[in-house]
Structure 1
């Protein structure tokens, strides 16, 4: 069990963990309070103020349509965090069910999930699979989340399968089975709580990948439909003005980089905090 003292020592021993938490808290605040923090309407056009450089009136400048880049960057945090949380939650739900059944029952169930379904999805790179799904379903927030979840559940399923196969033969599981517990109760009440630690770490790192994947698809025009503000679509809009107005690309690119780094830093800290061998070697 992880105590608050262990958490405090981990944060003190890993400055990057504190930085990751601070960055994530900053992006969450930006996403939640975007309507109050944004100095302008993110979709308001001002053709007389096109491609303005950063200044007092527009701290991050304006884009080719005169829209305020700071406001669009703040609203872009909403989309990125929504996609990250939704994709990981849906991928994790599919992976827990599929991997749990495969690892618990084995046999034909394991062969179908692990040998056929997982290998079929792993045969193509995840981003290409997501591009194919979005191109087929059409752009939009829901379709984007669904496409990324469909292409990302395999990693969680294989992790859950391996963990379930390790835990299902332990004494407390055999004791629950001897007392007449159903398979669903054994999986939900006895096995799943004991495999949460690696899932939490994988989910934190998976959110970083989801943010990057959303930006990639939006950059390709397959993400959130215009005129919604998205960091990837902002990068796509600014690439034609890269040399004369580099601020169009700089600010959304920095936002993507910092958001991805925050999840990676937190994932590394959680791995060190939740791994007993790491805690013992570090004296935590």
Structure 2
């Protein structure tokens, strides 16, 4: 029996729930992710350390659990900010048309033409001790553009629809039409971008930590990758753990984002 659309949507949330749930359980019962034990440096997986140890004897299981939770929390927050800003902005631009629509479209082109990773490098290089707040601000600067572009494209389709014309005929102003009629009809289409945006942020945050622009505490998936590359031959398990963790976090977010896609849910 073919599952319903709502059932398929729930199934697409399962990988993210499993990843977050497992990370929460491990983080609650594991050692501190910043606890050092130099005598255990690069130790292979064992019963005491299921994923082994990294540089200076850090427990990779604890580091990965805490880093995954923090990375997903950062990614979800920034993606939500981009969604909240971009969806109404794109809807308003598509409805108002004219110069405002052109300005918003060009702004999206400008933001998306400049790599977010390079912008982050420029901004974070000026910060003595970057935190996840700094990372969130940098990512939020550009996170709104994909949502705005999607909302603008969809509004161009809907702005001449019968329900929009009826709302105007009943005396609804532009703000009321955008807030009560256009945005609710855009949510299903634009929300699909949430998963892709969050997954990209997880990868970007790991990449920044990998090149040395992460948080000072070193609790990041990118830091695990950095350790793994440095000890690729003598401790290959570190690189494998880091790569698998980034993959699990990003893919689970991507799949969860598809839960909002009604067309995909019918397949």
- The normalised TM-score by structure 2 is 0.89
Aligned match of 2:6:
7
Q: 1:136 to 1:161 in 2, by over 3 A?
A: farther
Whole-Å separation in 2 of the counterparts to 1:35 and 1:251: 16
Q: 1:64 to 1:228 in 2, by over 3 A?
A: closer
Please tell me whether residue 256 in structure 1 is matched to residue 246 in structure 2. Answer: yes
Aligned match of 2:125:
135
Please tell me whether residue 207 in structure 1 is matched to residue 181 in structure 2. Answer: no
User: Tell me, what secondary structure is at the counterpart of 2:242?
Assistant: helix
- The normalised TM-score by structure 1 is 0.85
Q: CA RMSD in A?
A: 2.2
How far has the Cα of 1:68 moved from its partner? 0.6
Whole-Å separation in 2 of the counterparts to 1:69 and 1:238: 11
How far has the Cα of 1:87 moved from its partner? 1.4
How far has the Cα of 1:81 moved from its partner? 0.8
User: Tell me, what secondary structure is at the counterpart of 1:131?
Assistant: helix
Aligned match of 1:265:
255
Please tell me whether residue 123 in structure 1 is matched to residue 122 in structure 2. Answer: no
Aligned match of 1:23:
15
How far has the Cα of 1:254 moved from its partner? 0.3
1:3-82 maps to which residues of 2 (within 5 A)? 5-8=4-7, 10=8, 18=11, 21-38=13-30, 40-82=31-73
User: Tell me, what secondary structure is at the counterpart of 1:221?
Assistant: coil
Q: 1:27 to 1:188 in 2, by over 3 A?
A: same
Match of 1:182 among 158, 173, 192: 173
Please tell me whether residue 220 in structure 1 is matched to residue 208 in structure 2. Answer: no
Contact 1:23 1:259 in 2 (8 A): no
Contact 2:23 2:68 in 1 (8 A): yes
Whole-Å separation in 2 of the counterparts to 1:94 and 1:221: 30
- Note the alpha carbon deviations across 1:33-90, whole angstroms, 9 max, x for none: 444232x111111112221111012111111211111111111111111111011011
Aligned match of 1:194:
185
User: Tell me, what secondary structure is at the counterpart of 1:156?
Assistant: helix
How far has the Cα of 1:232 moved from its partner? 0.8
Match of 1:167 among 139, 154, 158: 158
Whole-Å separation in 2 of the counterparts to 1:156 and 1:6: 24
Mean alpha-carbon deviation: is it higher for 189-198 or for 97-106?
A: 97-106
Contact 1:100 1:164 in 2 (8 A): yes
How far has the Cα of 1:228 moved from its partner? 4.3
How far has the Cα of 1:134 moved from its partner? 2.8
Greater RCO (CA < 8 Å, at least 6 residues apart): 2
Contact 2:41 2:55 in 1 (8 A): yes
Mean alpha-carbon deviation: is it higher for 194-203 or for 130-139?
A: 130-139
Structure 2: segments with no counterpart, 5+ residues: none
Contact 1:73 1:230 in 2 (8 A): yes
1:89-104 maps to which residues of 2 (within 5 A)? 89-104=80-95
Whole-Å separation in 2 of the counterparts to 1:128 and 1:119: 16
Match of 1:275 among 242, 258, 263: 263
Please tell me whether residue 154 in structure 1 is matched to residue 153 in structure 2. Answer: no
Q: 1:136 to 1:90 in 2, by over 3 A?
A: farther
